[in-house]
């Protein structure tokens, strides 16, 4: 059980202090990670940022893992769901998916967490799922296909968020080119004419494939 981002007290008797804690700790964690990166993020550095003793911090949150879960849920509010209800369903999905990938490419250490985090501990994440589910339902997607479609697109987004951080030379075969002639030719034969990053070309390819398979009955964007 966790509180819902600060709108309800967790326990009687200490309302105000507890009310603010999740939001304040999460904001401090985000500020710290934005300047120092995930590598420098520890409970001690977080306590220093909050100007409290580590023991005081542990009165409010059980572990670094829990802070990261709170942070994951907060980061999810940065994902753009504004297209649902205002755009054709497929454009709304595109806006959501590209923004979701970009946000978690910047916060890739959170990817393994969000992939396994129950929605009851992540109310903002659940809010996002509700918006997407309403969008797909409104597009005429059968109720039994909504979850598989969301999970498939989201799994693709998570993997792509990791891939977006791959070094540009990840597929340069170097001195191993002789033993991998077809793969090496494929790497060299990528279409560079658009100037688009290879990670973006692959993301577009996969996302359009997934959207094409969503059994919507309402029309998407006119071709």
Contact 123, 5 (CB under 8 A): yes
Restricted to residues 52-111, the positions that interact with a second copy (CB under 8 A) are: 108-109, 111
Handedness of CA 109, 110, 114, 116 (dihedral sign): positive
Stretch that binds a second copy, among 17-25, 27-35, 57-65, 152-160 (CB under 8 A): 152-160
Is residue 8 close enough to count as binding a second copy by CB under 8 A? no
For a second copy, how many residues bind (rule: CB under 8 A)?
74
Contact 24, 50 (CB under 8 A): yes
When the beta carbons of 91 and 154 are compared against a second copy, the nearer one is 154
Q: Which of 179, 194, 195, 217 binds a second copy (CB under 8 A)?
A: 179
Q: How far is CA 9 from CA 2, 16, 136, 148, 177, in A?
A: 10, 8, 34, 35, 61
Smallest distance from the beta carbon of 150 to a second copy, in angstroms? 8
Is residue 13 close enough to count as binding a second copy by CB under 8 A? no
SS3 per residue for 154-187: HHHHHHHHHHCCCCCCCCCCHHHHHHCHHHHHHH
Cα–chain center distance at 67: 16
Stretch that binds a second copy, among 6-14, 30-38, 42-50, 184-192 (CB under 8 A): 184-192
When the beta carbons of 47 and 104 are compared against a second copy, the nearer one is 104
Is residue 46 close enough to count as binding a second copy by CB under 8 A? no
Smallest distance from the beta carbon of 52 to a second copy, in angstroms? 29
The answer for residues whose C-beta is within 8 angstroms of residue 114's C-beta and 6 or more apart is 72, 76, 104, 122, 125, 158
Smallest distance from the beta carbon of 47 to a second copy, in angstroms? 24
Q: Which of 99, 132, 89, 131 is nearest to 221 (CA)?
A: 89
Is residue 5 close enough to count as binding a second copy by CB under 8 A? no
When the beta carbons of 49 and 100 are compared against a second copy, the nearer one is 100
When the beta carbons of 52 and 152 are compared against a second copy, the nearer one is 152
Restricted to residues 194-213, the positions that interact with a second copy (CB under 8 A) are: 198-199, 201-203, 205-206, 208-210, 212-213
Residue with the two structure tokens 């109310």: 123
Mask for 155-174, x = binds a second copy (CB under 8 A): xxxxxx-xx-xxx-xxxxxx
CA distance from start to end of the chain: 47
């Amino acid at each position: 059980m966790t509180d819902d981002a600060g709108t309800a007290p967790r326990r009687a008797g200490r309302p105000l202090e507890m009310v603010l804690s999740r939001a304040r700790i999460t904001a401090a964690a985000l500020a710290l990670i934005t300047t120092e990166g995930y590598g420098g993020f520890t409970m001690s550095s977080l306590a220093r940022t909050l100007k409290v003793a580590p023991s005081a911090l542990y009165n409010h949150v059980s572990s670094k893992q829990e802070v990261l879960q709170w942070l994951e849920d907060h980061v999810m509010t940065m994902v753009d769901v504004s297209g649902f209800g205002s755009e054709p369903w497929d454009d709304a999905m595109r806006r959501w998916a590209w923004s979701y990938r970009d946000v978690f490419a910047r916060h890739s250490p959170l990817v393994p967490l969000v992939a396994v985090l129950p929605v009851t501990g992540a109310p903002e994440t659940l809010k996002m799922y509700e918006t997407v589910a309403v969008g797909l339902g409104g597009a005429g997607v059968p109720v039994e296909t909504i979850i598989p479609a969301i999970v498939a697109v989201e799994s693709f987004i998570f993997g792509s968020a990791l891939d977006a951080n791959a070094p540009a030379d990840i597929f340069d075969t170097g001195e191993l080119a002789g033993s991998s002639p077809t793969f090496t030719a494929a790497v060299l034969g990528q279409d560079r004419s658009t100037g688009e990053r290879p990670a973006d070309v692959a993301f577009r390819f996969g996302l359009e494939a997934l959207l094409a398979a969503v059994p919507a009955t309402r029309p998407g964007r006119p071709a």
